[in-house]
Every structure is written in structure tokens, then in C-alpha cells.
Structure 1
């Protein structure tokens, strides 16, 4: 069953362009190392915060990739461009 990890954060003032650039490189690297990483969607909300939703084929694949995040130094560098970062995981129950 597909799962998603939703990151919610605010971008440090003046760092959005850098975050978008680093996020693109980070996602490319994660995707090349994890075929089960199927999609990433970034949403800017009306309050100025962002939802970054990452989709995986299974919870096991997501957990395995998360355990290997230290192999992606860009992950910490990209997270450093955000504040108030929180994460929530969930299962996809229905798509139409």
C-alpha cells in the first residue's frame, strides 16, 4: 500500500530559490537510489508555510530510505533552509 510523508515547514527568508534548487537535486538523488520513491509535491499554503509531500510504494521502502538519509548530505543542508519543520506519515486509502 502506498504511503506519504508530509513535511510542513517555513522557508528561511530569502532562501526559497536555494531551497528549490537543493530540493531538486536531493529528490533526484533519492529517486535514483530508491525506485519505490514515486512522487514529490510541494505546496505553498496561504499562510506562507509549505507542505512537501513525498510518496512511496510502501512503508517499508520509506523507512529504509529514511534510515539511509545520512548518505545524502544535501538532506541536512536543505532542511537547514527551513524552520518549524514537522513530519507526518500516512497511508493512501483512496485516489480518484
Structure 2
């Protein structure tokens, strides 16, 4: 069963939107290279300026394995260097129906 992980965060004040988007793209590419199972990745921005990453995984097991690899990927460190400390929140949603 697939899983959707939603991450909300605020970028540091000095960063431009293009930099957030560029680092998100690099992060997605690095994760896809490191392990299969990321089936969709989207980045959006809410009216209040908060960013939202929506990533769809083929399974919880894949997400767990990526979380073990993540600290070793330079793209992860680069992406999270833009996140304002204490603003990141993750929700995991198990997909029950796909219509």
C-alpha cells in the first residue's frame, strides 16, 4: 500500500523561492538515484509563505529505508539548510483508496 508524506516548513528569511525549488529538485533526484520507490514529489507554497512538500512512496518500508540513507546524502543537508529551525512538521498518510 502506498504512503504520502507531507512536510511543512518555513524557509529562512534570506532565501529566494528559486533556491528552495532548485534544492528540492536536487533532493528528489538524489533520493530517486539512491533508492527506488519515490513515485511522486511535489513542492508548493501556501499563502502564508509556508512551504509544503508532498511525496508519494510505494510503501512504508521504502520510506523507512530512505530515512536511514538520508543523513548521508549531501542534497538532504543542502535542502534542510534552507529550513528555519523548529518549523518542520511531517505527516504520513497511508493511502486506502485510489479512485
Flag structure 1 segments of 5+ consecutive residues without an equivalent: none
Q: Provide the residue aligned with 1:3 in structure 2.
A: 3
Deviation per CA, 1:5-56: give whole Å up to 9, x if none: 1110112224122221111111111112221111111121122111101110
Q: How far apart in 1 are the matches of 2:11 and 2:61?
A: 29
Give the C-alpha shift of residue 70 in structure 1.
1.7
Question: Which one of the candidate residues 72, 86, 89 is aligned to 1:86?
Answer: 89
Q: When the two structures are superposed, what TM-score results if normalisation uses the length of structure 2?
A: 0.87
Q: How far apart in 1 are the matches of 2:27 and 2:44?
A: 17
Q: Provide the residue aligned with 2:22 in structure 1.
A: 21
Q: Could you say what secondary structure the match of 1:53 adopts? A: strand
Aligned 1:37-52 pairs, distance under 5 A: 37-52=38-53
Q: Provide the residue aligned with 1:12 in structure 2.
A: 12
Whether the aligned pair in 1 keeps the contact of 2:6 and 2:55 (CA below 8 Å) is yes
Flag structure 2 segments of 5+ consecutive residues without an equivalent: none
Q: When the two structures are superposed, what TM-score results if normalisation uses the length of structure 1?
A: 0.89
Question: Which piece of structure 1 moves more, 34-43 or 12-21?
Answer: 12-21
Question: Which piece of structure 1 moves more, 8-17 or 47-56?
Answer: 8-17
Q: Provide the residue aligned with 1:30 in structure 2.
A: 31
